[in-house]
C-alpha cells in the first residue's frame, strides 16, 4: 500500500515526459480511484472518501488524509513471487496502447530495460532515483521562492516545549497541558480513568490516592476525572489554571481533588489525609510516593496504628488490573482508601500510540502556504512516518518494551519528550526556514543533510546524520536508549546487502526516506562510513516494511537490532492477552524452559543427561559455582509432566507453573528470562542473567523444594548424579541400612 503522494509524483513525471499534450496530467487521482473497479486494486478507507458524480476522488482530500492504495493481497503476492510477470504485463500494455518507437524508452523509464529483458534490480534503482528526487525537489522548489516570509506553526513550538533539551520543557507538566490548545488532540486517556470515574460516582464515599514517580501521568488522570465531573470536554483546555485543591459535586457529596499533595507542607498533607478519611465526601489525592509514605505513616500514628508500613509497601508493589479497585484498599485506615501506584501500570503501548496522535495532529495544517512547506525537513519527517503507516509506532513500542522489561522503565512524560525530539530534532520553524533558505538550487547534498538532521530514526535514538546528537542525552529516555547501542551489525549477508539494496533487500522503505537512504548508502561504502551504516540500520528498523516471503529475514534483523530473540513474541502476547502459540509450540517452550532450568540448577548441560532429560534435578550445589562439581547430591527430582506453560493476565507475562505439589507454583517468565532461555537454547554460552533475574530462579528452586518436601516418600534414600569422563550423566541410588550401618547400592 503506497501513499498517493508517492504515486502522484512518479505518474506526473511519466505523463509530462511521454504525453506532453495530455490535457490533465495533474489528474493522477483518476486512475488511483478508478482502478478499484477492476478488482485488482484497493484504496485505504475508500468507503469514507468523497467522490464526484462519475466516481472520481477529490485530489485535495486524498493528499490531506495521506490515503494509501495498492494491489489486492493476492495480486501483490503473485507479483512478488514471480517478478517476471511484471515484464509480461508491462510489455502487453505498452504494445497495446503506445507506438513502437516509444516501447524501449517507456519501459526503461519504469525500470524495465527492454520488452525482452527485465531486471528487477533496475526497477529498484529507478525507485531510489525517484526517492532522491522526491527529497531534493522540495528543497529546489522552496529555494526558488527566495526569502519569502516565514510562517510560524505554534504546534512545532509546542512539540519543542515537550522536551527539555534547551530547558524549555514547561509544557511537559500537567499544569501547562491543562491550558494548551494542542494537548486535547494528543492526550490518550489512561484506562484507569474510566474505573475511577465509575467508582467515584457510584454513590459511596471513597478516598482514592494516585501515587508514583513524577511524570507518570497522575495529575493528567486527576484532570480528566475533574473535567468529567464538571461535564467538560476531556480534550478541551481549561479556561483558567486549576488550583491545588478543586471541588466538584458528585453523587456521594463533594469530590475534592488535590492536584499534587507532595508539593505541600507536611502539616497540610497530614490535615488533608485526616479530612479525607474522617469527614463526609470523596477525595482524589495525587502525590509522589516518598512524601505519601511519610504522611500516611504519620497519620497512622495519630490513630495509634502500628505496622502499617508493610501493608502500604505491599499496596505500592501491587500491579493494577482493570476493574479491581478493591484489591488496592488499605483496610487499616478509615474509609479504606484505595492506593494505586501508577509506576506499576504498563504505559508502553499507551505512550507509543501518542506518536500517531502527534503525527496526525490537525495543527500541522498551520504549515499550509508556508514558503518552505514543500522543503521543510519537519514536514518531510512527518510525511515519512505517515507513509510507513503503523510500523514506526510498533517499532517504538518494542524499544520501550525492552527498556521496561530490563528494569529501565520510562515515565509517560519521558516518552512524550523522546517522541517530540524525534519529530523535531530539537529545531523549530525559524531554524528550518533559515537552513532551507541558505541552500542553493544545486545543493543536493545540503538538501539531504537537512532531512538527515531530524529524520525520526535518528532523533528518536539520539543521533544526527549518524553522529551522536550533542544535546540529546539531556533526555533520560534517549540516554537510556543510547545505552543499548541499537543498530550494530547483524550478519555478513545483511552487511553486504546494507550498501547494495534498499532496506537490506528484505524491506521496502517509504518514498520520503529513499533519497536519504541512497545518500547514506554511498557514504556507507567509504572506509569511514561506520556511522552511516549504523544510521541505515536505524532507518531500516523504524521504517522498513518486509516484503512477502522475506519475513524470516525481517525477523532476524529485528531480533538482532533489539538484542532480544523473544521481544516480538512477548509484545504480541501482551497485545492479545494470551499466548499466541500452537499446542506443540507451547509444549516445546515448556521443555526448553525446563532444560535450561536443569542446566542452571545443576551446572551440567541438558545434552549430558541423555535419557534423563525429562526430569528436573535439584541438587546440592555451591551457589557461587566457584568449583566444578562432577558429583552432586540430588535433593529432589521433578517430572517435566508436572509443569505447564500458561499466561497470567494480571502480570501480563507467561508463567511456568508447577502442579506437582499441594498448591500450584508459578515462575513468571519475564522478557529477560525468556531471552536467556532462548539464548541458551541457541547455544549462546556467554549469555548471563542479571543478579535480580538469577535470584528469581533461585527463589523458584527454593519454592519447589518447599512444595515437595512432604512428598519425599523415603528420606533414607540417597541419589547422586555423576558426570563421566565423556560428560554423560549417570544416576546412582543408595539405601541406608540402619541395622548394619551401611549404604546399599540400588542402581
DSSP state of 304: T
At 387 the pLDDT is 86
At 688 the pLDDT is 75
d(CA 419, CA 160): 10
Strands (E) across 553-686 are located at 615-620, 631-639, 643-648, 653-658, 665-668
- Dihedral angle at the C-alpha atoms of 552, 557, 561, 562, nearest 10 degrees? 0
HSE (CB half, 13 Å, CA atoms) of 8? 16
Residue 718 — very low, low, confident or very high, per pLDDT cuts 50/70/90? confident
Contact criterion met (CB below 8 Å) for 159 and 418: no
161-165 contacts at long range (C-beta below 8 A, 24 or more positions apart): 162/416, 162/417, 162/419, 162/420, 163/417, 163/418, 163/420, 163/421, 163/426, 163/475, 164/417, 164/474, 164/475, 165/421, 165/426, 165/471, 165/472, 165/474, 165/475
Place of cell 520543557: 169
d(CA 687, CA 677): 9
Residue 514 — very low, low, confident or very high, per pLDDT cuts 50/70/90? confident
Buried b / exposed e over 492-507, threshold 16 CB at 10 Å, is: eebeebbbeebbbbbb
Residue 669 reports pLDDT greater than 80: yes
Residue 738 reports pLDDT greater than 80: no
Indicate the domain borders of the chain. Answer: 2-122, 154-168+348-563, 191-344, 576-745
d(CA 426, CA 360): 19
Candidates 484, 372, 356; CA nearest to 423 is 356
At 444 the pLDDT is 44
**pLDDT tens digits, residue range 244-294?**
899 988 887 899 999 889 889 999 999 999 999 999 999 999 999 989 999
Q: How many residues does the chain have?
A: 747
**pLDDT tens digits, residue range 111-126?**
776 544 444 445 455 5
d(CA 677, CA 331): 41
- Which set of grid coordinates corresponds to residue 671? 522478557
Contact criterion met (CB below 8 Å) for 400 and 187: no
Q: Tell how strand 253-258 and strand 282-288 pair up.
A: parallel
Q: Global pTM?
A: 0.80
In words, the CATH class of domain 191-344 is alpha beta
Residue 302 reports pLDDT greater than 80: yes
The average pLDDT across 472-493 equals 88
Residue 317 — very low, low, confident or very high, per pLDDT cuts 50/70/90? confident
What's the mean per-residue pLDDT of the chain?
83
Query: Which has the minimum average pLDDT: 360-374, 400-414, 582-596?
Result: 360-374
Contact criterion met (CB below 8 Å) for 2 and 70: yes
Contact criterion met (CB below 8 Å) for 276 and 248: no
| Residue 248 CB neighbour total at 10 angstroms | 18
**pLDDT tens digits, residue range 39-70?**
899 998 888 888 888 888 888 888 777 788 99
At 497 the pLDDT is 82
Residues 148, 152, 157: CA angle, nearest 5 degrees: 145
Buried b / exposed e over 116-135, threshold 16 CB at 10 Å, is: eebeeebbbebbbebbbbbb
At 146 the pLDDT is 46
Residue 143 reports pLDDT greater than 50: no
* Residues forming a β-bridge with 207: 283
Residue 141 reports pLDDT greater than 80: no
Place of cell 511484471: 86
Buried b / exposed e over 427-462, threshold 16 CB at 10 Å, is: bbbebbbebbbebeeebbebbbbbbbbbbbbbbbbb
d(CA 656, CA 667): 5
d(CA 349, CA 117): 48
At 114 the pLDDT is 53
- CA-to-CA separations, 410 to 208, 414, 698, in angstroms, rounded: 24, 6, 28
| Residue 319 CB neighbour total at 10 angstroms | 15
| Residue 101 CB neighbour total at 10 angstroms | 7
d(CA 212, CA 468): 32
Contact criterion met (CB below 8 Å) for 486 and 461: yes
Place of cell 500450584: 664
φ, ψ for residue 281, nearest 5 deg: 110, 170
Report the interhelical angle of 73-81 vs 84-97 (nearest 10°): 110
**pLDDT tens digits, residue range 423-470?**
998 888 888 777 776 654 444 455 566 778 789 999 999 998 888 998
d(CA 331, CA 338): 9
Burial class (CB in 10 A: 0-12, 13-18, 19+), 379: buried
In the chain, the percentage of residues whose pLDDT exceeds 90 is 27
φ, ψ for residue 63, nearest 5 deg: -70, -45
The average pLDDT across 718-736 equals 87
Residues 495, 501, 503: CA angle, nearest 5 degrees: 80
d(CA 317, CA 478): 27
Query: Which has the minimum average pLDDT: 421-430, 494-503, 516-525?
Result: 494-503
DSSP state of 726: T
* Residues forming a β-bridge with 283: 207, 256
d(CA 328, CA 316): 9
Q: Which of 310-319, 471-480, 512-521, 615-624 has the highest mean pLDDT?
A: 471-480
Candidates 330, 338, 340; CA nearest to 192 is 340
At 441 the pLDDT is 44
Q: Tell how strand 253-258 and strand 245-250 pair up.
A: antiparallel
Residue 543 reports pLDDT greater than 80: yes
Q: Which of 309-313, 379-383, 390-394 has the highest mean pLDDT?
A: 390-394
Amino acid at each position: 500500500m503506497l501513499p498517493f503522494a508517492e504515486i502522484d509524483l512518479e505518474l506526473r513525471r511519466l505523463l509530462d515526459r511521454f504525453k506532453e499534450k495530455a490535457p490533465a496530467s495533474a489528474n493522477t487521482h483518476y486512475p488511483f480511484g478508478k482502478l478499484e473497479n477492476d478488482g485488482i486494486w484497493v484504496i485505504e478507507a475508500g468507503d469514507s472518501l468523497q467522490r464526484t458524480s462519475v466516481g472520481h476522488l477529490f485530489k485535495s482530500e486524498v493528499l490531506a488524509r495521506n490515503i494509501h492504495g495498492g494491489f489486492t493481497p493476492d495480486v501483490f503476492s503473485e507479483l512478488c513471487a514471480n517478478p517476471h510477470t511484471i515484464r509480461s504485463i508491462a510489455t502487453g500494455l505498452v504494445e497495446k496502447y503506445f507506438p513502437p518507437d516509444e516501447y524501449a524508452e517507456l519501459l526503461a523509464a519504469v525500470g524495465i530495460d527492454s520488452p525482452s529483458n527485465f531486471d528487477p534490480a533496475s526497477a529498484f534503482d529507478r525507485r531510489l532515483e525517484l526517492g532522491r528526487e522526491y527529497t531534493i525537489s522540495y528543497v529546489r522548489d522552496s529555494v526558488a521562492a527566495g526569502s519569502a516570509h516565514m510562517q510560524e506553526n505554534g504546534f512545532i513550538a509546542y512539540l519543542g516545549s515537550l522536551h527539555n533539551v534547551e530547558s524549555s520543557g514547561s509544557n511537559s507538566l500537567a499544569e501547562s497541558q491543562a491550558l494548551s490548545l494542542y494537548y486535547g488532540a494528543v492526550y490518550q486517556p489512561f484506562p484507569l480513568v474510566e474505573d475511577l470515574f465509575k467508582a467515584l460516582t457510584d454513590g459511596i464515599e471513597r478516598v482514592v490516592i494516585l501515587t508514583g514517580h513524577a511524570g507518570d501521568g497522575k495529575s493528567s488522570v486527576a484532570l480528566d476525572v475533574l473535567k468529567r465531573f464538571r461535564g467538560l470536554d476531556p480534550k478541551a483546555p481549561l479556561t483558567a489554571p486549576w488550583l491545588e485543591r478543586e471541588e466538584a459535586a458528585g453523587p456521594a457529596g463533594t469530590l475534592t481533588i488535590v492536584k499534587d499533595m507532595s508539593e505541600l507542607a507536611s502539616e497540610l498533607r497530614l490535615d488533608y489525609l485526616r479530612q479525607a478519611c474522617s469527614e463526609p465526601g470523596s477525595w482524589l489525592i495525587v502525590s509522589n510516593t516518598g512524601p505519601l509514605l511519610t504522611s500516611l505513616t504519620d497519620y497512622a500514628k495519630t490513630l495509634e496504628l502500628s505496622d502499617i508500613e508493610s501493608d502500604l509497601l505491599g499496596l505500592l508493589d501491587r500491579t493494577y488490573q482493570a476493574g479491581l479497585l478493591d484489591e488496592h484498599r488499605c483496610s487499616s485506615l478509615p474509609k479504606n482508601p484505595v492506593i494505586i501506584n501508577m509506576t506499576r501500570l504498563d504505559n508502553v503501548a499507551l505512550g507509543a500510540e501518542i506518536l500517531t496522535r502527534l503525527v496526525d495532529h490537525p495543527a500541522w495544517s498551520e504549515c499550509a502556504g508556508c514558503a518552505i512547506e514543500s522543503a521543510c525537513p519537519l514536514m518531510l519527517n512527518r510525511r515519512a512516518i505517515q507513509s510507513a503507516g503503523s510500523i514506526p509506532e510498533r517499532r517504538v513500542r518494542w524499544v520501550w518494551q525492552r527498556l521496561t522489561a530490563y528494569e529501565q522503565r520510562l515515565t509517560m512524560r519521558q516518552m512524550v519528550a523522546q517522541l517530540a525530539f524525534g519529530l523535531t530534532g530539537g529545531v523549530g520553524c525559524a531554524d528550518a526556514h533559515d537552513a532551507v533558505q541558505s541552500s542553493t538550487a544545486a545543493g543536493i547534498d545540503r538538501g539531504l543533510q537537512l532531512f538527515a538532521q531530524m529524520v525520526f530514526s535518528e532523533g528518536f535514538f539520539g543521533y544526527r546524520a549518524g553522529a551522536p546528537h550533542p544535546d540529546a542525552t539531556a533526555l533520560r529516555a534517549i540516554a537510556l536508549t543510547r545505552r543499548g547501542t541499537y543498530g550494530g551489525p547483524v550478519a555478513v549477508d545483511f552487511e553486504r546487502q546494507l550498501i547494495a539494496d534498499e532496506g537490506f533487500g528484505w524491506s521496502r522503505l517509504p518514498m520520503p526516506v529513499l533519497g536519504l537512504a541512497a545518500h547514506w548508502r554511498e557514504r556507507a561504502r567509504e572506509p569511514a562510513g561506520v556511522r552511516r551504516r549504523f544510521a541505515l540500520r536505524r532507518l531500516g528498523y523504524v521504517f522498513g516494511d518486509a516484503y512477502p516471503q522475506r519475513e524470516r529475514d525481517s525477523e532476524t534483523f529485528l531480533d538482532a537490532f533489539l538484542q532480544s530473540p523473544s521481544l516480538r513474541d512477548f509484545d504480541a502476547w501482551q497485545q492479545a492477552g494470551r499466548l499466541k502459540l500452537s499446542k506443540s509450540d507451547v509444549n516445546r517452550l515448556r521443555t526448553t524452559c525446563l532444560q535450561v532450568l536443569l542446566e542452571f540448577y545443576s551446572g551440567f548441560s541438558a545434552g549430558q543427561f541423555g535419557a534423563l532429560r525429562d526430569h528436573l534435578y535439584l541438587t546440592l550445589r555451591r551457589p557461587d559455582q566457584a568449583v566444578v562439581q562432577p558429583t552432586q547430591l540430588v535433593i529432589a527430582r521433578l517430572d517435566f509432566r508436572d509443569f505447564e506453560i500458561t499466561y497470567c493476565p494480571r502480570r501480563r507475562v507467561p508463567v511456568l507453573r508447577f502442579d506437582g505439589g499441594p498448591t500450584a507454583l508459578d515462575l513468571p517468565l519475564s522478557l529477560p528470562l525468556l531471552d536467556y532461555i532462548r539464548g541458551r537454547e541457541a547455544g549462546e554460552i556467554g549469555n548471563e542473567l542479571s543478579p535480580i533475574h538469577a535470584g528469581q530462579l533461585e527463589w523458584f528452586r527454593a519454592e519447589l523444594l518447599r512444595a515437595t518436601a512432604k512428598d519425599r516418600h523415603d528420606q533414607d534414600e540417597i541419589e547422586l548424579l555423576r558426570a563421566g569422563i565423556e560428560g554423560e550423566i549417570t544416576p546412582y541410588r543408595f539405601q541406608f541400612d540402619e541395622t548394619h550401618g551401611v549404604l546399599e547400592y540400588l542402581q
